[in-house]
A = this chain, B = another copy of it.
Amino acid sequence: MDIDTLTIVGVGLIGGSIGLAAKRRGLARRVIGVGRQRGTLDDALAVGAIDIACLDAASAVHQSQVTVFCTPVDRIVEQVVALAPGCRPDALLTDAGSTKGTIVGGIEAKLCNGVAFVGSHPLAGSEKRGPLHAKEDLFQNRVTVVTRTPRTSDRALERTMEFWQALGSRVRVMTPDEHDRALAMTSHLPHLLASALAGVLPVELYDLAATGFRDTTRIAAGDPALWTGIFAQNRQAVLDSLDLLQDRLTQFKQALQTDDQSTLDSLLAEAKRTRDALGS
């Protein structure tokens, strides 16, 4: 894959890291960063994540072979639908949003024929925000989910996969619905749990919260507005995952109430096997 002009709409941690990786790996000859805030664009320029900053998304997209939307999930549909008509006939549009059903479905329902949009979600990130935290190896050896629907062309799917692979990512193809159910469990539920735990810690116990508490709640430092948007777009799958977790908590509770140490040990051992299998 060899891109003349790559546009990144939204140059935060993810968008900035895409720019850095694309430039360092020679994937794109030039990278245009689109944003609403001059300060963020200046930061992205300063760290070398983009070559050109542009407040006018339409003209940037019009010049680009590939455009990646790295904005909050609740703004992607509207932006893609607005900008797609102005893009080149051979252009590829993709995104980096944490939900896929609402985004891909919303865009496909409104997109004119001939424009190729393929949903993507790189499973990389951090509770930190902004291009100053961008890293060129953010996608290295991480999984990126790329979605396929009946409307996805083989060529667009292939180019999207090549794009993420060129950034160092392993690609897994799923339907938007499969993605959303999986990520409800692996990402959205952990965020909810971390936030619930952080939220019930009384202030007088802050200095007794050591490494274990800090690890378990780290992602609760993520941006509330971004996460409210993610939860809103994946409510049912998150509720289903939460049900599974609450059943497991009930098993722990009953084992504690009845002092059933053998069940407690089994529950802890099963969790350890899974966690050990994930690696550090």
A interface residue numbers (CB < 8 A to B): 123-126, 142-143, 145, 172, 182-183, 185-187, 189-203, 205-225, 227-228, 231-232, 235, 238-239, 241-242, 244-246, 248-249, 252-253, 256-257, 259, 261, 264-265, 267-272, 274-278, 280
Q: Report copies per complex.
A: 2
The CA of A194 and the CA of B268, in the complex, are separated in Å by 10
The CA of A278 and the CA of B198, in the complex, are separated in Å by 10
Contact yes or no, A212 B187, CB < 8 A:
yes
Cβ of A196 to closest chain B Cβ, rounded Å: 4
The CA of A83 and the CA of B195, in the complex, are separated in Å by 45
The CA of A185 and the CA of B197, in the complex, are separated in Å by 9
The CA of A195 and the CA of B238, in the complex, are separated in Å by 19
Residues in B with CB closer than 8 Å to A217 are: 190, 216, 271, 274-275, 278
- Known contacts A186-B205, A189-B197, A197-B245; can you find 10 more A-B pairs with CB under 8 A? A190-B216, A191-B212, A194-B216, A198-B271, A214-B278, A215-B218, A215-B219, A217-B271, A221-B272, A228-B268
Does more than half of chain A's interface fall in helix, strand or loop, or is it mixed? helix
Contact yes or no, B206 A278, CB < 8 A:
yes
Which 10 A-B pairs have CB atoms at the shortest separation, nearest pair first?
A195-B271, A224-B268, A198-B271, A123-B210, A199-B271, A190-B216, A220-B271, A220-B275, A224-B269, A196-B248
Which of B193, B198, B199, B215 is in CB contact (< 8 Å) with A197? B193
Which of B125, B195, B203, B238 is in CB contact (< 8 Å) with A211? B125
Cβ of A122 to closest chain B Cβ, rounded Å: 9
> Could you list some 26 contacts between A and B, CB below 8 A?
A123-B210, A124-B211, A185-B202, A186-B208, A187-B208, A187-B212, A190-B197, A193-B216, A196-B245, A196-B252, A198-B274, A199-B248, A200-B241, A200-B245, A200-B248, A213-B278, A215-B216, A216-B217, A220-B268, A222-B268, A224-B265, A227-B268, A228-B265, A231-B264, A232-B261, A238-B256
Residues in B with CB closer than 8 Å to A259 are: 232, 235
Contact yes or no, B249 A242, CB < 8 A:
yes
Residues in B with CB closer than 8 Å to A267 are: 195-196, 199
Residues in B with CB closer than 8 Å to A219 are: 212, 215-216
Complex: chain B residue closest to A274, CB-CB: B198
Q: Which of A123, A143, A172, A257 has the most CB of B within 10 A?
A: A123
User: Given the known A-B contacts A239-B256, A249-B242, A269-B224, are A186 and B172 also in contact in the complex, defined by CB atoms under 8 Å?
Assistant: no
Cβ of A44 to closest chain B Cβ, rounded Å: 22
